[in-house]
Structure 1
């Protein structure tokens, strides 16, 4: 009898050990955070100089503007197409090789862009960049592999903070370096990617267990097929449009803020940059110091609702604020929007099996990239119509892009309320 009990205890301990995520070395988590920071830093570095660089290939500004728009669309499309492929490859071969190869690929693309002698060579380099920029999906899957479910909101909050750090400081550094030479930020961005890859080679252990590996299948490695990982999960299927609307609303700030601030508040370049930096800093602080406390106390479901409500309210205040002081006073309202990504990632990753985390993250990254393709045209067109008083009612409404983003998040909130009405214990991994 005692032997039977002892055997049961051993079996129970073994099953618990199998369910426990593998522990990562401290340097590995630092590397994942550094990867996200450097990804966003390298992208931010080149933002101020890319239009100027494209202008060097053309004799007139109009042609350069159209060419730059096409290059951005091609980059976003490649990221949309490649993100689920990289996620599915990480499910078969592990997270480590995909993350390291993506870092190297980004480094190659930045150096190739810097030395491109023609616009066609420039486009080829941007294709490489778009194809390898989806390593965020593998990084998110790595975090899900090594973090217990109870700690995922905090871990994804740290990733969000890393994202914000790179986005905040990248453009400022790019502007300073670009003033020296228009191609210098590209060399620096490429060097950062190579340094990060070399560091990761020594400190990054594999997180994806061999028994959880799944073979690569093309029917799953596409933006639509990747979302089949939600099969049998009605709540998670309902969260797909919520995530898509979040991604669409998120693009309003980079697409419209500069135009909006210059037109409505007459901001100069310094004031515009300082306002964007302040907004990013508030989000970073929220990711670091608020997310874990709120999610730990209220849970992912309620935190998701709070994020959408405050995001909806914040964008509405942005679009209606008649003075700079009121715009700045609205910024703390947007801070709790930082709860969205950690909450929704925690909800999703807990309900998807360990063998499909890469597929999940690839699908989500594709949704984000897809919204990035259409959002800039949508929001800039709305701004133009609002300024020209061509919206219904003939209103002078330069804040139309932000009010539209607020509407998107309000719609997402309604969908999410119905999506999470399932009982707390339902929706186990399939």
Structure 2
């Protein structure tokens, strides 16, 4: 096996994935920024005099100490954002098999280069839309429509990962195939770690700052460099007249799905794959909006995603790889789904707390305390009353009922304007963001353990003559989950910050039951023998 082609394909895929890691954390935030203009156009009404009347902006920021929330959005916003996030995966679902079949005919190299060129174009278009969108419609279309165009184009262009896997299959023998395929996983992990870190250099550290086009341009430059490098250095892996490793085994596997799903062993594994991927897709696509509700700016959001990428890389490259031979695929999958369930429940509690603070903040922000605060400030020099004592007296005199706050928070008077806000108590209080930082690895490690274990169980439970068909069905099911997850997750999050994580945890609880019952039907080789059993 020559290492040079593998090194070249690694560099090519890695540089392209850096761009993907830059754009993904920003996409829902940028799209939300352009939502109000769309809603104002769509919801315009006509007055009796015949003049078009626009309603007030549907997106207003309400600051509550370190919390900053979007208080009012159109009820369709979550569905729109979910469809935007899902459009990329939908195009990959449709075009990955087509690119693979085309590469079987014309070679891997031209398909990979077309994909890189397309990524360059659509990342650049993403930057242009971000830059021009603040001025209104672009060529008669709203910026949000153009964002859909950029994601659909990027999804079509980025659907060449299976072709890259076929390239590796062409360059490796059976004994080194596994190590070769690990290159793609390594490129993903490192790209998702360093892409957000690189992107953080090009966004402001202000929560309500306008979207910056710089990350899109950086992503376009990176994909362009990957194209140039591939064009000048990447050799063709398929030899003319030689039958290579087919990158697909039919298109979409629709016909094989009923047979595989009805199989007593393969069916539960496939459904467990769907539930796991669906739950994780809800988590990863809603995370950027959750961090925004927790007061994290775009730069801090990049750091959160880089942190996830680092945990994912370490978990897949070190922890899971060493534990699977010891625990076996079944126990590894069971541990993974339990960790995911626990982690999602913990995240839901963090989101629920933020949602509660959001609702309380919206309620008390309307209290008129301007005149009373002016008197309180003038008397404060000769009084020992705290903000809390003053607010309690004011509420009693006005007949207001101040909602009960979660532990660790308190009411305060905004230092910049006479408005009641909610803030963390004390200077060293434990913020929801730090709670999230400690909880995220539980979900990520759980997913890192579950995915390879279930894929291995799927392969080990299939006959040698049906590996391609069964694994193809598994890939199609995963793709469908990645399409449905963002739509459901973003729609639920629009109702309540905690809903997508409660729903995902509920799905993973079902996943625990499904994986647990696999012990009775899967081949014994996926469960290591106990010491007493292995002595004879």
Q: Same fold (TM over 0.5)?
A: yes
> By how many angstroms is 1:349 displaced?
5.4
Query: 1:138-153 alignment to 2 at 5 Å?
Result: 138-142=163-167, 146=172, 148=174, 152=178
TM-score normalised by L of structure 1: 0.70
1:423 aligns with 2:519: no
1:191 aligns with 2:300: no
User: Which residue of structure 1 lines up, in the alignment, with residue 326 of structure 2?
Assistant: 297
Q: 1:206 aligns with which of 232, 237, 240?
A: 237
User: Which residue of structure 2 lines up, in the alignment, with residue 104 of structure 1?
Assistant: 117
User: Which residue of structure 1 lines up, in the alignment, with residue 15 of structure 2?
Assistant: 38
Contact 2:336 2:450 in 1 (8 A): yes
User: Which residue of structure 2 lines up, in the alignment, with residue 77 of structure 1?
Assistant: 90
- Are residues 132 and 411 of structure 1, via their aligned partners in 2, closer, same or farther at CA, if it must alter by over 3 Å? same
User: Which residue of structure 2 lines up, in the alignment, with residue 406 of structure 1?
Assistant: 505
Segments of 5+ residues of structure 2 without an aligned counterpart are: 42-76, 130-137, 205-209, 354-429, 527-536
Between the aligned partners of 2:298 and 2:89, the Cα distance in structure 1 is 26
1:167 aligns with 2:192: yes
User: Which residue of structure 2 lines up, in the alignment, with residue 242 of structure 1?
Assistant: 272
Between the aligned partners of 1:138 and 1:315, the Cα distance in structure 2 is 34
Q: 1:132 aligns with which of 157, 172, 183?
A: 157
Between the aligned partners of 2:321 and 2:191, the Cα distance in structure 1 is 21
Cα deviation digits, residues 21-68 of structure 1 (max 9, x gap): xx3x32333344444433432123234665787799999253697977
> By how many angstroms is 1:336 displaced?
4.2
Cα deviation digits, residues 356-408 of structure 1 (max 9, x gap): 75x777655544443333323322343344x4xxxxxxxxxx43322321222
Query: Cα RMSD over matched residues?
Result: 4.4
Cα deviation digits, residues 129-149 of structure 1 (max 9, x gap): 222221223334555663757
Cα deviation digits, residues 209-242 of structure 1 (max 9, x gap): 944556988xx31362475896997644432222
Q: 1:312 aligns with which of 334, 338, 341?
A: 341
1:177 aligns with 2:223: no
Contact 1:91 1:356 in 2 (8 A): no
User: Which residue of structure 2 lines up, in the alignment, with residue 252 of structure 1?
Assistant: 282
Segments of 5+ residues of structure 1 without an aligned counterpart are: 1-22, 388-397
TM-score normalised by L of structure 2: 0.58
Contact 1:53 1:183 in 2 (8 A): no
- Are residues 230 and 70 of structure 1, via their aligned partners in 2, closer, same or farther at CA, if it must alter by over 3 Å? closer
Query: 1:317-396 alignment to 2 at 5 Å?
Result: 317-321=346-350, 324=432, 325-334=434-443, 335-348=445-458, 351=462, 364=474, 366-385=476-495, 387=496
> By how many angstroms is 1:248 displaced?
0.9
User: Which residue of structure 1 lines up, in the alignment, with residue 4 of structure 2?
Assistant: 27
Between the aligned partners of 2:457 and 2:167, the Cα distance in structure 1 is 16
> By how many angstroms is 1:266 displaced?
5.1
Cα deviation digits, residues 321-346 of structure 1 (max 9, x gap): 56635444334433243123333344
Between the aligned partners of 1:271 and 1:148, the Cα distance in structure 2 is 44
Between the aligned partners of 2:262 and 2:490, the Cα distance in structure 1 is 39
1:222 aligns with 2:252: yes
Contact 1:28 1:205 in 2 (8 A): no
SS in 2 for 1:222: coil
